[in-house]
């Protein structure tokens, strides 16, 4: 007995020391420069001690950290997680510790051990929760096989028949997948992925699985589409099957009623993975037959995962948590699941996403910085109807209201599914309007609402026929050939059924874009040159220029003679790209191209307008005798810089932007 107590004491002291090292580094990343180092150290030691004491007093080790009992299997799982957490510790990625005492080997070792201990605790806790939750026992094997076949057939037809270009978010993840596929696979790459998760908005967490497939099958757009469809769409569809499992073929009905999921993936958005995790959060949290603690722990981890995959899904996480709290009003006995949800989410979020929470959520004024993306509530309405159809949205709302009023056992689930999307909509629209990918925020709640509606239908053939008729109408609408708008502002009415189309897109000016890219790549036969793309619209931008050859399957030159200088395009969010003024060439479109309106993209117009007009700073450039004609009457010209830009011209740009946004003067300060 004494040996057992002594062992527990030594283990507790070791855990205290390791966690103190981890907490010190994590606190240092946030508080250094605001508090004395001694105070940060004291806070780390005290809080770590409180955490260890709480674990001991609450008896959490036997309750949560022994999923397979005190056996070799538990030790193996915990040891593997500990080693992985220690080797891939990313804490020092959040700040520069060079030259500091905290950056020396002893502190790094202690922090790594603390990181390993935390990851081991999280993994073991999740294993315990999974074992307590138990299997779902989905009896829909044939449906899954049909969905796999249909998804891959549609992916093949869409990929083979389309002539389009992936750009911005779609191109970012394709590019990073190609990058990872070309690197040696090993511990260094895993560390790179782990560091990106805690430091980068567009991290490599979703790109890495795709890169593994690309290593064997290639890096083309077809492979990218198939990888996204099979890795990320199919798990989301499996979540729909789980939501609809209480109704005959309920999951298949949900899949047919939400064709925007696969379509969004085929247009290049890996964001569907986060939507899939959100669907599973609804599946796990609302299954009241399962232990409350297990449901809350697993859901909290999933809610952290969704915003680690795509940062803007933080709105989904916050709204889900608030909705879960409000749902207790109709089912107070579920408080244990809510407490477990909050605890699990807090631990996972702080460990895996501290940098995002502190720097981006608490440290930025998003309401102002992203005000350029707020295009008005009409855009939000037309986008929701364009991808879901107002008929489906109205029926989902009716199903939730009916369940709240008439189905007592379903009130908890109904209130959660009603409040979560409403809160998410209110929070998100305070920052910006919705793009196509942002509508995935509402897909989990929509599926949950439709599943409740299917359960409420009377068990008669007519009801099933009606449900299938509506679902097939929604699905069929997405296959009708129709002209697609280039921007949401062009849509003038609210669609009853989805108005996007699976008909493969055909961009008519791809040959001109290819010619532009090849021409610029070979502008100089002597020393390498630089160029900047001064345009930012859905029709033409630097991302389209960069991805055009890869999108149509043309090999890119290994060493093009002209490299592209990055050019920022969104006011307030970005500073002016001064390096563009040293570029040898400017690639400018006429009319000037912007996607957020001229009033929100002065960064583009302040340079593009004088260059096109040949006034002011534009006198430093000479237009080459070549042009490239894109669709919608847009022409792209190339301008060669004939002299150095003067200090007065630098200051003129700075003064103009500062006059528009005096509170952002530092972003527009001239470097000369």
For every residue of 576-600, DSSP letters joined together read --GGGGG-SEEEEEESPPBSS-GGG
Element (H, E) at 510: helix 510-521
Is 171 inside any structural domain?
no
Torsional class of 671: left (φ above 0), alpha (ψ -120 to 50), beta (otherwise): alpha
For residue 138, how many C-alpha atoms fall within 13 Å in the half-sphere facing its CB?
Answer: 19
CA–CA distance, 89 with 92 (Å, rounded to integer): 8
The CA-based angle 663-667-669, given to 5 degrees, is: 100
* Of 437, 461, 490, the domain-final residue: 490
Pair (481, 547) in one structural domain: no
Pair (558, 584) in one structural domain: yes
Give the mean model confidence (pLDDT) for residues 595-617.
Answer: 92
CA–CA distance, 5 with 21 (Å, rounded to integer): 25
Contact 471, 289 (CB under 8 A): no
Q: Which residue has the tokens 């399962």?
A: 290
Pair (53, 123) in one structural domain: yes
Pair (536, 408) in one structural domain: no
Beta-bridge mates of residue 590: 635
pLDDT of residue 590: 94
Structure tokens at 403: 């369940």
Pair (465, 370) in one structural domain: yes
Pair (445, 523) in one structural domain: no
Give the model's confidence band at 598: pLDDT under 50 very low, under 70 low, under 90 confident, else very high.
confident
Pair (566, 446) in one structural domain: no
CB atoms within 10 A of CB 26: 22
* Of 133, 151, 172, the domain-final residue: 133
pLDDT of residue 191: 92
Contact 276, 444 (CB under 8 A): no
Is 173 inside any structural domain?
no
- DSSP letters, 220-238, are SHHHHHHHHIIIIIHHHHH
Say whether pLDDT at 372 is over 90: no
Pair (159, 81) in one structural domain: no
Give the model's confidence band at 457: pLDDT under 50 very low, under 70 low, under 90 confident, else very high.
confident
Is 73 inside any structural domain?
yes
CA–CA distance, 116 with 81 (Å, rounded to integer): 7
Is 391 inside any structural domain?
yes
The CA-based angle 412-242-260, given to 5 degrees, is: 95
Element (H, E) at 253: helix 250-257
Structure tokens at 131: 């074992």
Pair (329, 361) in one structural domain: yes
Output DSSP code: residue 571: T
Sign of CA dihedral 64, 67, 72, 78: negative
Give the model's confidence band at 364: pLDDT under 50 very low, under 70 low, under 90 confident, else very high.
low
User: How far from 129 is each of 52, 72, 283, 340, 552, CA to CA, in Å?
Assistant: 21, 19, 15, 11, 47
Pairing of strands 585-590, 635-641: antiparallel
Give the model's confidence band at 356: pLDDT under 50 very low, under 70 low, under 90 confident, else very high.
confident
Say whether pLDDT at 532 is over 80: yes
Give the mean model confidence (pLDDT) for residues 249-263.
Answer: 95
Say whether pLDDT at 164 is over 80: yes
User: How far from 651 is each of 259, 429, 481, 531, CA to CA, in Å?
Assistant: 51, 36, 51, 22
Sign of CA dihedral 135, 141, 146, 152: positive
pLDDT of residue 464: 84
- DSSP letters, 274-313, are HHHHHHHHHHHHT-TTS-HHHHHHHHHHHHHHHHHHSGGG
Sign of CA dihedral 380, 384, 389, 393: negative
The H-assigned helical ranges of 182-206 are 187-199
Beta-bridge mates of residue 562: 529
Report the number of distinct structural domains present in the chain: 3
CA–CA distance, 260 with 547 (Å, rounded to integer): 24
Contact 429, 377 (CB under 8 A): yes
Is 324 inside any structural domain?
yes
Pair (72, 157) in one structural domain: no
For residue 152, how many C-alpha atoms fall within 13 Å in the half-sphere facing its CB?
Answer: 10
pLDDT of residue 9: 75
For residue 32, how many C-alpha atoms fall within 13 Å in the half-sphere facing its CB?
Answer: 15
The CA-based angle 350-351-352, given to 5 degrees, is: 100
Give the model's confidence band at 247: pLDDT under 50 very low, under 70 low, under 90 confident, else very high.
confident
538 Cβ contact partners less than 8 Å away, ≥ 6 residues apart:
486, 487, 595
Contact 467, 253 (CB under 8 A): yes
pLDDT of residue 560: 75
The CA-based angle 177-213-218, given to 5 degrees, is: 75
Give the model's confidence band at 370: pLDDT under 50 very low, under 70 low, under 90 confident, else very high.
low
Structure tokens at 284: 């796990």
pLDDT of residue 159: 93
* Of 427, 462, 490, the domain-final residue: 490
Torsional class of 438: left (φ above 0), alpha (ψ -120 to 50), beta (otherwise): alpha
Give the mean model confidence (pLDDT) for residues 396-411.
Answer: 92
Give percent helix, percent strand, percent coil of the chain, each to the nearest 5. Answer: 65, 5, 25
Is 211 inside any structural domain?
no
pLDDT of residue 523: 86
Domain that holds residue 153: 141-163+220-490
CA–CA distance, 409 with 460 (Å, rounded to integer): 21
List, for residues 26-79, the tens digit of each pLDDT value. Answer: 999 888 888 898 999 999 999 999 999 988 888 888 899 999 988 999 999 999
345 Cβ contact partners less than 8 Å away, ≥ 6 residues apart:
299, 300, 301, 303, 304, 317, 321
Is 175 inside any structural domain?
no
140 Cβ contact partners less than 8 Å away, ≥ 6 residues apart:
241, 245, 251
List, for residues 104-156, the tens digit of each pLDDT value. Answer: 999 999 999 999 999 999 999 999 999 999 998 877 888 999 999 999 999 99
Structure tokens at 213: 């497939």
Pair (360, 482) in one structural domain: yes
The pTM of the full predicted model, rounded to 2 decimals, is 0.92
CA–CA distance, 68 with 56 (Å, rounded to integer): 19
Contact 165, 174 (CB under 8 A): no
User: How far from 396 is each of 399, 415, 641, CA to CA, in Å?
Assistant: 5, 13, 58
> Mean pLDDT, the chain, as a whole number?
91
User: How far from 661 is each of 655, 667, 669, CA to CA, in Å?
Assistant: 10, 10, 12
Is 185 inside any structural domain?
no
Pair (419, 286) in one structural domain: yes
Give the mean model confidence (pLDDT) for residues 165-169.
Answer: 89
């Amino acid at each position: 007995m004494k040996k057992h107590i002594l062992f527990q004491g030594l283990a507790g002291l070791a855990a205290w020391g390791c966690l103190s090292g981890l907490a010190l580094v994590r606190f240092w990343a946030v508080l250094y420069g605001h508090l004395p180092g001694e105070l940060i150290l004291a806070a780390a030691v005290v809080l770590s001690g409180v955490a260890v004491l709480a674990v001991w007093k609450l008896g959490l080790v036997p309750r949560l950290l022994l999923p397979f009992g005190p056996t070799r299997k538990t030790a193996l799982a915990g040891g593997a997680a500990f080693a992985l957490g220690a080797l891939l510790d990313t804490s020092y990625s959040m700040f520069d510790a060079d030259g500091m005492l905290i950056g020396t080997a002893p502190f790094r070792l202690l922090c790594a051990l603390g990181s390993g201990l935390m990851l081991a605790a999280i993994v073991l806790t999740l294993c315990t929760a999974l074992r307590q939750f138990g299997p779902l026992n989905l009896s829909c094997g044939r449906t899954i096989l049909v969905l796999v076949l249909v998804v891959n057939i549609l992916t093949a037809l869409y990929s083979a028949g389309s002539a389009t270009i992936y750009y911005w978010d779609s191109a970012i993840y394709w590019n990073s997948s190609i990058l990872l596929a070309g690197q040696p696979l090993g511990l260094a790459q895993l560390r790179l992925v782990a560091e990106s998760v805690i430091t980068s908005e567009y991290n490599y967490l979703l790109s890495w699985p795709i890169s593994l497939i690309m290593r064997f099958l290639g890096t083309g757009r077809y492979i990218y589409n198939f990888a996204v469809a099979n890795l990320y769409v199919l798990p989301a569809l499996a979540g729909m099957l789980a939501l609809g499992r209480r109704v005959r073929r309920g999951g298949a009905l949900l899949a047919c009623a939400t064709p925007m999921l696969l379509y969004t993936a085929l247009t290049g958005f890996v964001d569907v993975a986060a939507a899939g995790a959100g669907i599973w959060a609804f599946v796990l949290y609302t299954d009241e037959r399962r232990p409350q603690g297990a449901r809350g722990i697993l859901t909290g981890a999933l809610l952290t995962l969704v915003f680690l995959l795509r940062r803007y899904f933080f709105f989904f996480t916050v709204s889900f948590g608030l909705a879960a709290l409000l749902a207790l009003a109709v089912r107070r006995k579920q408080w244990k699941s809510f407490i477990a949800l909050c605890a699990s989410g807090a631990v996972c979020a702080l460990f895996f996403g501290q940098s995002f929470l502190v720097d981006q959520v608490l440290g930025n004024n998003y309401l102002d910085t992203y005000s350029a993306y707020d295009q008005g509530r009409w855009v939000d309405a037309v986008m929701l109807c364009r991808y879901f159809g107002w008929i489906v949205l109205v029926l989902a709302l009716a199903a939730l209201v009916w369940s709240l009023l008439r189905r007592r056992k379903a009130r908890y689930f109904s209130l959660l599914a009603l409040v979560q999307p409403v809160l998410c909509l209110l929070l998100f629209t305070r920052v910006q309007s919705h793009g196509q990918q942002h509508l995935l925020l509402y897909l989990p709640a929509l599926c949950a609402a439709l599943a409740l509606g299917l359960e409420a239908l009377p068990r008669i053939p007519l009801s099933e026929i009606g449900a299938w008729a509506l679902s097939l109408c929604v699905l069929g609408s997405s296959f009708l050939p129709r002209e697609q708008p280039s921007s949401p502002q062009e849509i003038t009415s609210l669609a009853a059924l989805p108005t996007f189309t699976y008909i493969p897109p055909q961009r008519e000016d791809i040959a001109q874009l290819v010619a532009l890219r090849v021409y610029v790549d070979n502008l100089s036969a002597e020393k390498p040159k630089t160029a900047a793309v001064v345009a930012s619209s859905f029709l033409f931008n630097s991302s389209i220029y960069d991805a055009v050859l890869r999108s149509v399957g043309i090999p890119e030159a290994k060493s093009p003679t002209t490299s592209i200088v990055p050019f920022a395009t969104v006011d307030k969010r970005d500073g002016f790209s001064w390096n563009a003024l040293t570029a040898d060439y400017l690639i400018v479109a006429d009319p000037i191209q912007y996607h957020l309106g001229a009033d929100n993209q002065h960064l583009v117009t302040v340079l593009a307008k004088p260059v096109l007009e040949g006034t002011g700073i534009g006198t430093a450039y000479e237009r080459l005798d070549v042009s490239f004609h894109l669709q919608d009457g847009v022409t792209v010209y190339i301008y060669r810089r004939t002299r150095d830009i003067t200090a007065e011209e630098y200051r003129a740009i700075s003064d103009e932007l500062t006059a528009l946004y005096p509170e952002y003067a530092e972003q527009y300060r001239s470097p000369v």
